[in-house]
Structure 1
Amino acid sequence: MPQATPLLRLLNVLLAPGLRTRKDPDAVFERLLADAQSGRVALGDDELAALDGLRLLLADHAANPDLSGMGWSSTQSQIRTRLTNRAIVRDVQASRPEVRDEPVTAPVFVVGLPRTGTTLTYNLIARHPGNRGPKLWEMDNLGLPRPQAEREKLIAQARKRYATVARLSPVWGHLHPLVADSEEEDFMLRAHTEMYATWGPAPRYLDWVANADLTEDYRFLRNALQVMAAGEAPERWVLKHPMDLWRMPEILAAFPGARFVWTHRAPAATVASGCSMAEATQVMYIKPGRIDLERIGQEWLDISARGVERAVALREQLPDDAVIDVVYDDLMKDPETVVHGLFENLGLEWGATDDANLAAALDRSGHRPHAYSLERYGLDEAQVAEAFSAYRIPASVLG
């Protein structure tokens, strides 16, 4: 069971006085926005409107009486980063308008719920010669490409920062290791995702994002990629985030010609994993002893099931060749056959580099399996099956 470490308890004590600012979350948001725009081109009214969801997210967490000092500080930091990303991109576009013409050609989005093989699939496609995904360190330091020496300095700083995260929550570090110079999820650039519910209860924000059209958010993602790789554009960008699954039409509107790789697995394992991830995160955001496990269970079952049901319906609106299915059980049984077929479908020629990448991805030495169960979160397999009644895993390609 995840527990607060001594370092986390100390930080919560030191940061507790800052909790007083929760009384006026609008004022906090305005301060974060002013910090983000300081010395940069001001964001326009339309863009500010697109960020209103973040104001609601901040207010939701501010209203949580169980939020810890570390949780409030981290919430502000995350929102400040999203606001700063916007300001940086608009500033670069104003000074270097040619960046808007940087190619972002037919990117691949790996979509699927947690623990369905998304990370393995993502890394293999992103590390194919000519492809690339956004790295964690550069999403934390968004801007035009830097000289090699500066890149190495920023990577080293990011390593130290994420080593601290692992010390605060060792379980989280095991569940989803944050590697500074490795590919990470695209929501770290964009503004909106249901993933923010891992921080703690955010009911108003979840209602808002469930009904929001995020096309503009994905257009911003395209702009950010153009800035990040200006003059160094890859042949193909590769992106990943579970909640991209039910945003495929919005993604296509922002990225014409995008392809989707949808990874499938029996829902019970994916829901339990999502709950475990939320619990491990809330250890860093919620006061000790105040995490509501049953609330986590109901919330992540609802997010996952509604999202997949929406994705199933939306898929009918997509071009026939837009989505490629990968079945987790196939991937685990015969990874070489499955990924070779996937690459062929994407028009990628398998080579020696891909052989090495696959061997590294399948090397589990030093890996410690993480145990999680539905029952811990007040759920059972019958509930999950009922919630996912509209979902059918595609037939095996292995026969």
Structure 2
Amino acid sequence: MSKATPPMLRMLNVLLLPGARSRKDPDATFEKLLAAAQHGRRPLGPQDLTAVEPLRLLLRAHAANPHLSPFGWTTVQAGIRDRLRNRVIVRDIQARHPQVREQPVTAPVFVIGLPRTGTTFTYNLIARSPGNRGPLLWEMLNLGLPVEDPAERRRIAERTTKRLSVMDRLSPDWSQVHPLIATSEEEDFFLRDHSELHTTASTVPAYREYLADADLTDDFVLLRQALQVMSFGQEPHRWILKHPANLWRMPEILSAFPDARFVWTHRSPGRALASGCSMSEALRNMHYKPGTVDLDAIGAEWLAMLSDGVDRALGQREQLDDDVLVDVSYSDLVEEPVQVMRGVFDHLGMTWTADDDANLASARHRPRHRGHRYTLERYGLDELQVAAAFAGYRIPSVLA
């Protein structure tokens, strides 16, 4: 059953209706987005212009979706403009400060795993350990050189918080699905061009086909360069990063970060699948015309995306050296978090300290959102289908 469209979203769709005509010519729209991203900064060179062409493909795919609302069309344009702007900002700063390319990014840790497998819990504990850091959401949404003035940092974070609060007014479910906190660590998706996450708000089969065969090494090189910009001139910290779709991109990550390490969190995939479908439903309720969200289609898309991704990741891990990846079972993490996380720290060459004990205690006692409920059946799926699709996936247990 579709949910009622919030009044604010209905109003925005009316106000934005005239601009929706631009979807008839997505190439012209892309050129305008590119021009806007480059305004006042050095224009991109030929190599970068070639690199951003798949974003043009993404915009075309969105434009071809007949269910996309005026607000949805406006939002996907903004997302692509942000990606173009990130690249422009990185190149502009590299040109003005060539030494930024020498900023160390040493042995970063990528927390990988399907949604709802303990990735955020694990990520936050590692990122908040002394000597480490994860990219904060406000930093990624305002990419640039480090802001040294604490008062200015607070002002930027407050502006970002106000910007993000609009999501809650447009979708009452969003704060339960994936709350966005400006001052907290977030996924590196916000610094990169490409991810399957672009397909959650709108059905874009042409872009999905591109991702299936794409080598995203350039995307992760751009991530590395953005991290250099964000930390330029500061005492080097070990970067800790997370995004679910990084799970099946380990070779590309290692091409850009040869000394990277991976922490793979595991849980029964049914829970992850239902959660991803729920996130897609919430996003499509915002981006689609009323009554056009197809829940069964969401289920089919996510089943294929996650099962194919896990199969790819299983094949990729066979090519890794033993010290590159460490596994974390969600059930182990719940049962014995100290033992599990100490083992992870040991594998990563880190020392568990009293600060980490305090971080763990804080994370375990943090209030949890109870309102987010999701089931496979809502999206036309059942446990037998999931078991068949993930037949080759076995969850390791350190404590077993």
- Bin the TM-score by the shorter chain: over 0.9
- Which of structure 1's runs of 4+ aligned residues deviate more than 4 A? none
Range with bigger deviation, 327-336 or 235-244? 327-336
Equivalence for 1:108? 109
Matched, 1:374 2:382: no
What is the SS of the residue equivalent to 2:173?
Answer: helix
Equivalence for 1:277? 279
Following TM superposition, by how much is the alpha carbon of 1:233 offset from its aligned partner in structure 2, in angstroms?
4.5
Cα distance in 2 for partners of 1:353, 1:16 equals: 52
Following TM superposition, by how much is the alpha carbon of 1:40 offset from its aligned partner in structure 2, in angstroms?
1.3
Equivalence for 2:76? 75
Equivalence for 1:340? 342
TM-score, length of structure 2 as denominator length = 0.97
Cα distance in 2 for partners of 1:137, 1:235 equals: 18
Cα distance in 2 for partners of 1:325, 1:275 equals: 25
Matched, 1:123 2:116: no
2:372 aligned partner, one-letter code = H
Matched, 1:194 2:185: no
Range with bigger deviation, 329-338 or 117-126? 329-338
Cα distance in 1 for partners of 2:81, 2:97 equals: 24
Is the contact between residue 2 and residue 171 of structure 1 (CA under 8 Å) also seen in structure 2? no
1:47 aligned partner, one-letter code = D
Matched, 1:227 2:229: yes
Matched, 1:156 2:153: no
Equivalence for 2:52? 51
Cα distance in 1 for partners of 2:24, 2:377 equals: 36
Range with bigger deviation, 359-368 or 296-305? 359-368
Match of 1:361 among 360, 363, 377: 363
Is the contact between residue 226 and residue 233 of structure 1 (CA under 8 Å) also seen in structure 2? no
Matched, 1:217 2:216: no
Q: Within 5 Å, which residues of 2 pair with 1:10-89?
A: 10-89=11-90
Cα distance in 1 for partners of 2:81, 2:392 equals: 38
Following TM superposition, by how much is the alpha carbon of 1:235 offset from its aligned partner in structure 2, in angstroms?
2.5
Describe the shift of the 1:114–1:79 C-alpha distance in structure 2 as closer, same or farther (beyond 3 A). Answer: same
Equivalence for 1:92? 93
Is the contact between residue 58 and residue 75 of structure 1 (CA under 8 Å) also seen in structure 2? yes
Equivalence for 2:7? 6
Cα distance in 2 for partners of 1:2, 1:223 equals: 42
Superposed CA deviations along residues 348-372 of structure 1, whole A, max 9, x for unmatched, are: 1112221221122112435315211
Name the count of aligned residue pairs.
Answer: 398
Identity of aligned pairs, percent? 60
Describe the shift of the 1:116–1:2 C-alpha distance in structure 2 as closer, same or farther (beyond 3 A). Answer: farther
Is the contact between residue 137 and residue 183 of structure 2 (CA under 8 Å) also seen in structure 1? yes
Equivalence for 2:327? 325
Match of 1:290 among 289, 292, 298: 292
Is the contact between residue 222 and residue 254 of structure 1 (CA under 8 Å) also seen in structure 2? yes
Q: Within 5 Å, which residues of 2 pair with 1:252-267?
A: 252-267=254-269
Cα distance in 2 for partners of 1:104, 1:306 equals: 31
Q: Within 5 Å, which residues of 2 pair with 1:167-206?
A: 167-206=169-208
Matched, 1:383 2:385: yes
Equivalence for 1:316? 318
Is the contact between residue 102 and residue 233 of structure 1 (CA under 8 Å) also seen in structure 2? no
1:167 aligned partner, one-letter code = R
Superposed CA deviations along residues 50-90 of structure 1, whole A, max 9, x for unmatched, are: 21111111111111111111111110111000000000000
Following TM superposition, by how much is the alpha carbon of 1:389 offset from its aligned partner in structure 2, in angstroms?
1.4
What is the SS of the residue equivalent to 1:179?
Answer: coil
Is the contact between residue 3 and residue 283 of structure 1 (CA under 8 Å) also seen in structure 2? no
Is the contact between residue 60 and residue 205 of structure 1 (CA under 8 Å) also seen in structure 2? yes
Is the contact between residue 2 and residue 280 of structure 1 (CA under 8 Å) also seen in structure 2? no
Aligned CA-pair RMSD: 1.2
Following TM superposition, by how much is the alpha carbon of 1:333 offset from its aligned partner in structure 2, in angstroms?
1.6
Cα distance in 2 for partners of 1:339, 1:20 equals: 52
What is the SS of the residue equivalent to 2:249?
Answer: helix
Cα distance in 2 for partners of 1:153, 1:239 equals: 25
1:379 aligned partner, one-letter code = L
Superposed CA deviations along residues 150-208 of structure 1, whole A, max 9, x for unmatched, are: 21111000010111111211211111110001111111100000111111100000000
TM-score, length of structure 1 as denominator length = 0.97
2:114 aligned partner, one-letter code = L
Cα distance in 1 for partners of 2:180, 2:336 equals: 27
Equivalence for 2:143? 142
Match of 2:245 among 230, 243, 246: 243
Describe the shift of the 1:320–1:385 C-alpha distance in structure 2 as closer, same or farther (beyond 3 A). Answer: same
Range with bigger deviation, 193-202 or 97-106? 193-202
Is the contact between residue 2 and residue 279 of structure 1 (CA under 8 Å) also seen in structure 2? no
What is the SS of the residue equivalent to 2:110?
Answer: strand
Is the contact between residue 44 and residue 91 of structure 2 (CA under 8 Å) also seen in structure 1? yes
Superposed CA deviations along residues 307-332 of structure 1, whole A, max 9, x for unmatched, are: 00000001111121111000011111
